[in-house]
Every structure is written in C-alpha cells, then in structure tokens.
Amino acid sequence: MDETTTGTPLNDEPALPGFPPAPAAAPGSPYRVLARKYRPRTFDDLIGQEAMVRTLSNAFETGRIPQAWMLTGVRGVGKTTTARILARGLNYQRADGTGGPTIHMPELGVHCEAIMESRHVDVLEMDAASHTGIDDVRQIIDGIRYSPVSARYKVYIIDEVHMLSEKAFNAFLKTLEEPPPHAKFIFATTEIRKVPVTILSRCQRFDLRRIETDKLVAHLGRICDAESVKADQEALAAIARAAEGSARDSLSLLDQAIAHGAGHVAAETVRDMLGLADRTLVLDLFEAVMRGDVPAAFAGLRAQYDAGADPSVILSDLAAFSHVVTRLKLIPDAAKDPALSEAERSRGSEYAQKLSVRTLSRAWQILLKGIPEVQASNRPIAAAEMVLVRLAYAADLPTPDEALRALKDGAPVSTGGPSAPLPSSPPPSGPIVSGNVALATSQPMPQPMPQPRPQPQGTAPVMRLRRFEDVVALAAEQREIVLKTALERDVRLVRFEEGRIEFNLAEGGSRTIANDLARALQQWTGQRWMVALSSDAGAPTLREQADTAERERKEGATNHPLVQAVLAKFPGAQVVNVIERAKAAEDGASEADMDMLGATDAEDEVE
C-alpha cells in the first residue's frame, strides 16, 4: 500500500506552524512557488475566515450539510483552496475505514492527498472560464446520476462560475435544486453579481473576507521563518499592503522579494521592487504640502521620482497616509495597528491632533481625483506636481463661515494659497507649529471668486442699470458677495453707459473681474455687456469714496462747536460714528432724537 492510502506525509520539509508538511519535491523537480508550497490543507490553516469555518463546523457536527455552496471574494483569498478542503472534509475517511464528514482532519485520510492534488476521480474540478457552454454542463448532468467510485460523495468544484452562459445556468437549475444524495456542488466566483439569483437561492453563500494586514504580516513572518529567510518587519508590512488582502498575492510578492534581495527581504529591496516611495519621505512630503510649502513639496516629489518611485504611487501613499491620520484623529486606538510603522504611528498621531477633519477630508478628495489624472497623463510627474499645487493651496482655504466673516470684516480678497499674504488681523486659529515647521490649518484665507448664478430663463432684467452703483446693488441682490466686494474695492471707474463699462484695476485686484462681471451681467439682464480694462486712471473706488466721505463727516462733526465742547469736557473721547439727519429719519428715529439732531445740525456718538 502506498503512502497516499495510509495517510502518511510524503515529505521531510519543515512545516509552517499550524500547517501540515507540504509534499517534498522529488530530486531535480522544478521549484515550487510559495503560494503553492504553503497552500492551506485544513480549515485550521485558513487565515481571516473564522466566520465561515465556524458555520461549516456547526453544520458538519449537526449533520445539516447542504447540497451546494457558493464561495465568493476577491482574488487570492482562498476560494478554490477552501473548495478542495471542503471536498476533503466531506469525504474524510481514515485508513481503518472510520470517519465521516468533518472539518477536523488531524491526519491525512484515504482520499485527502488525491483531493488536494486535484487527481481524485470523485472530485471533479471544472474551470467555467474555459467551459462556458451548455454542452459542458450537460456532461456534468449526465454523469451525476452515477454513484462515486470510492469516496463518500461525488463533489463538483466549478471555478469562476459567473462565466457560464445563460443556457448553461438554466440547465443547472433542476439538478442543483434536487441533486442525488451522493452529489455536492461547490461554486467559486469573484463576480457574485453576475451569478443569477435563481442559482444563488439554491446555494449556501460564503463571502470570504480580505485578509487583514496584520494577519498577513504575521503569516508572511512565519513563512520566512520556515524558509530560513531574514525579513524586515517594514518590508513585510509593505508587501501586505500591496497585496490588498490577498494571501496569494502576498506570497507571490514575497517570492519575488526573496529572489530580488538574494535571500534577504529588506525594506529598500521591496520599495525598489514595487516602485514604492520611502514611507519617511512620504511623511515629509505630506508635512510640506500641509504647511503650503510648494518648493519643498516639489523637491520631495522629484527626489522620490528620481529614486524610481512612480508618481501615481506617491500620491496613493499620500492619500493612504491622509486616511491614516484621519483614522488616528477619530479613533485614537487605531495607533495600535501593527501594520503601521513607528514613524507613521508617532507622526500620524501628531498630525491628527493638529489638523482638522475638514482639512484632511479636503486633502483626501483632491488626491483621490488627482491619482487617475496622473495615471492617464503622458507627463505623470508634471501632473503629480499640479496635484500637489492644488493640495497646498487648498490647505489654506477657509470654510464658508470663515469666508463670510473675513468679507464682513473687510479683509482683502486675494488668490489665496501659500504665497498670499496673511490678513493683518490674527486668524481665528493660527498656524500649528511642529518643531520648527508651521503646518497650515484652515485659516480664513479668501475663497476663489465663484461663477455667478444663472438667471432663470424667461425672466426680465431686474432693473435698468444707469449707474455703476446700480451694478453693485444688483450683485448684492443676486447674493454674489465676493463679486460685490471686488467691485467696491478694486474697480476705478473710467466710463459707464448701459451695455458698456470701462475701468482701471486697483492694485491687488483680480484681472479676471472683467470677464466675471460681463458674464454675470449677461445672465442677470439678458443683454450682452462689454466690460473692459482701461489704462486711464479712473475715479476712486466705491470703497475709497465711502472712506473719504466718512472721514469728511467725522472731521465736520469734530469741528462742530458743541462737539468740541464735549471733547474738551471728556479728555480722550472721540467721534466714532456720524448719523446724518436724513438717514436717521429713514431709520425711524424718534422726534426727540430728531430735535436733538436738528439742534446740533449734524450727528454724534461720542465715547
């Protein structure tokens, strides 16, 4: 009797802890990749699928075994391997003839080795990607009526079942609902939505989860120990992150890293192999962008690019670190994640305390939209730089309430961004200092000028615009506050007539205001306006005119004899406001107040 039938292991290789020894390769046989060498052989070997194993264990113990299972999940989480282990458990039998359906298989049974090597006559595997037609399904239906040759059950494993044609699925329905007692079906697919509901309703469905990063790191570490390979923890973490929850992908990358590093898996080796950026450099780049230092951000990006890192991967790492900082801010216990390096843990916690969720969310959105742009660009490094520019300038954008507060206080509206001068008054929340570096938060920097809202079709012009002041009033009615403020502060009127405006731009004004005003007037009035910049000096701006008038009113009130007497009586007092008699009447002042204003022939509020 050979070793297969006795259930004796066929190898002398060192076993992975928790794994039975894999079959030894014959002398001169080709190298077996790690993904095949350390393929799970029992349910205890599966990592990250505890819920499925618990359900199957209870079902086998109580005898509630269904006729069909549907295994779904992303690539490399163990769907086909689970199907083979399940087929082995269904047909488990010891050499003495004892045993029954179970998930506990401490030793190889009579049929185990042949099932795991896909050569058992009663366990039939079919790749639906290459056998999609009804004829292939008809062969299964014709053969299912025959009893198994040697095993307890005849098991049909159909991989990538979603590739079957519509007619093939329909042919399966009756047999799948009422199969012979000796037949079991195990389906595996990565596209569960493409499987008809009529098929799903006849199966027990198991969604195999992505394997968590910390479990993958521990799994890779055990394999490196079994292979006598020295591996850095940071390198294994990078491989686990790149695998995205797939055990097969992680083992394939580990195989490549061992060969790339000549038996030593180092962090630098893995970065070079995967085209990744140094995590420390990514953190430095994140800090430079968040504080609005564009030159430093460009230098950091270029240094990583020259070292071989792909620009889109660099931005992906930035986005990933933004997510890490956000999680650390909202869930401080996330710092215990073993997949994080010490630098990510310490510096991420520091940034989480100092950056707002609003800033982190904005950075995530910009990076998420910028990564596809870089991937599709024929100049990826230039596209990545432009994404960093957007990110650096957006780091200082205010919230709507901060923008309105700045406009109400008369703060200058500039282009914003790192190079724009800060307001003269201190912002509500100043810059955050980390060491000798200031990280930009959400200071009340002015927003870019929004596009005017279109007037509903079919509406008549709001009013005839006979003066420039009417244009400003119309902008206020349309709630275009930024445009109204710019017209009052930056426009020196040269010529105005209905349909045409010429003006000189005050220092610091936006040169796009002419186009913005022309577009807004056409939308508001339904007429085409010509708005042009002029080289003539032009009249003072409305803000300057208002300031001059206010200053003259205060000087006139201050020179009034009665006010002079009050100022002399109260040293240090000053005129803070001037209310004209006509304006007081419009505001509903009382007769006594009007008499007092008439007596003084002006106004005053003295403190």
- 428 with 497: CB under 8 angstroms? no
User: What are the structure tokens assigned to 504, written together?
Assistant: 């000189």
- 89 with 197: CB under 8 angstroms? no
DSSP bridge pairs for 391: none
Please say if the pLDDT value at position 442 is more than 60: no
- 241 with 305: CB under 8 angstroms? no
User: What CATH class is the domain 39-207?
Assistant: alpha beta
Element (H, E) at 282: helix 279-290
Give the mean pLDDT of 181-187: 92
pLDDT band at 15 (very low <50, low <70, confident <90, very high): very low
Interatomic CA distance for residues 519 and 605, integer angstroms: 43
The pLDDT assigned to 305 comes to 87
For 125, which DSSP code? E
What tens digit of pLDDT does each residue of 529-576 get? 888 888 888 888 888 888 888 888 888 888 888 878 777 777 877 777
Please say if the pLDDT value at position 410 is more than 80: no
Q: Are strands 183-189 and 154-159 parallel, antiparallel or unpaired?
A: parallel
SS (H, E, C) 164-216: CCHHHHHHHHHHHHCCCCCEEEEEEECCHHHCCHHHHCCCEEEECCCCCHHHH
Among 186-200, 383-397, 425-439, 557-571, the range scoring the smallest mean pLDDT is: 425-439
Interatomic CA distance for residues 238 and 280, integer angstroms: 13
Please say if the pLDDT value at position 462 is more than 50: no
pLDDT band at 186 (very low <50, low <70, confident <90, very high): very high
Interatomic CA distance for residues 42 and 84, integer angstroms: 9
pLDDT band at 9 (very low <50, low <70, confident <90, very high): very low
* Axis crossing angle, helix 279-290 with helix 342-354, rounded to the nearest 10: 10
- 286 with 270: CB under 8 angstroms? no
User: What are the structure tokens assigned to 371, written together?
Assistant: 């990564």
SS (H, E, C) 570-589: CCCCCEEECCCHHHHHHCCC
For 276, which DSSP code? P
The pLDDT assigned to 378 comes to 92
The pLDDT assigned to 488 comes to 85
Nearest CA to 481 out of 529, 530, 447 is that of 447
Nearest CA to 487 out of 527, 521, 536 is that of 521
- 607 with 576: CB under 8 angstroms? yes
pLDDT band at 383 (very low <50, low <70, confident <90, very high): very high
* Axis crossing angle, helix 357-376 with helix 311-330, rounded to the nearest 10: 160
Q: For the chain, give the mean pLDDT.
A: 78
Please give the distance of CA 266 from its chain centroid, rounded to a whole number. Answer: 28
CATH number of 213-271: 1.10.8.60
Percent of the chain's residues with pLDDT above 90: 14
**Of 4 and 297, more confident:** 297
Interatomic CA distance for residues 57 and 130, integer angstroms: 33
Among 284-288, 300-304, 448-452, 477-481, the range scoring the smallest mean pLDDT is: 448-452
Q: Where are the domains of the chain?
A: 39-207, 213-271, 279-394, 468-539, 544-606
Please say if the pLDDT value at position 269 is more than 50: yes
Sign of CA dihedral 184, 189, 192, 196: negative
Q: Are strands 154-159 and 123-127 parallel, antiparallel or unpaired?
A: parallel
pLDDT band at 395 (very low <50, low <70, confident <90, very high): low
User: What are the structure tokens assigned to 292, written together?
Assistant: 């609005």
Interatomic CA distance for residues 496 and 470, integer angstroms: 11
The pLDDT assigned to 402 comes to 61
pLDDT band at 521 (very low <50, low <70, confident <90, very high): confident
pLDDT band at 606 (very low <50, low <70, confident <90, very high): very low
Q: What is the residue type of 422?
A: L
Q: Are strands 575-577 and 605-606 parallel, antiparallel or unpaired?
A: antiparallel
Largest CA distance in the chain: 127
Interatomic CA distance for residues 453 and 392, integer angstroms: 28
Whole-angstrom CA distances from 151 to 64, 182, 265, 491 are 19, 10, 44, 91
Residue 90 buriedness (CB in 10 A; 0-12 / 13-18 / 19+): buried
- 45, HSE (Cβ side, Cα atoms, 13 Å): 24
Please say if the pLDDT value at position 448 is more than 90: no
Whose structure tokens read 């009663």?
122
What tens digit of pLDDT does each residue of 52-80 get? 888 888 888 888 889 999 999 888 888 88
Nearest CA to 52 out of 92, 12, 89 is that of 89
Nearest CA to 573 out of 607, 543, 597 is that of 607
What tens digit of pLDDT does each residue of 236-252 get? 888 888 888 888 888 99
**Of 581 and 199, more confident:** 199
SS (H, E, C) 439-476: ECCCCCCCCCCCCCCCCCCCCCCCCCCCCHHHHHHHHH
For 124, which DSSP code? E
Q: What is the residue type of 295?
A: P
Please say if the pLDDT value at position 156 is more than 90: yes
The pLDDT assigned to 592 comes to 47
Give the mean pLDDT of 369-394: 91
- 126 with 140: CB under 8 angstroms? yes
SS (H, E, C) 82-113: HHHHHHHHHCCCCCCCCCCCCCCCCCCCCCHH
Give the mean pLDDT of 427-442: 40
The pLDDT assigned to 397 comes to 64
The pLDDT assigned to 382 comes to 93
For 310, which DSSP code? -
Whose structure tokens read 């909202």?
330
User: What are the structure tokens assigned to 516, written together?
Assistant: 């913005």
Please say if the pLDDT value at position 593 is more than 60: no
Please say if the pLDDT value at position 446 is more than 80: no
The pLDDT assigned to 457 comes to 47
pLDDT band at 487 (very low <50, low <70, confident <90, very high): confident
Q: Which fold has domain 279-394?
A: Zinc Finger, Delta Prime; domain 3 (1.20.272)
Please give the distance of CA 333 from its chain centroid, rounded to a whole number. Answer: 20
Among 110-119, 184-193, 199-208, 432-441, the range scoring the smallest mean pLDDT is: 432-441
DSSP 8-58: -----SPPPTTSPPPPPPPTTPPPPPHHHHT---SGGG--S-HHHHHHHHH
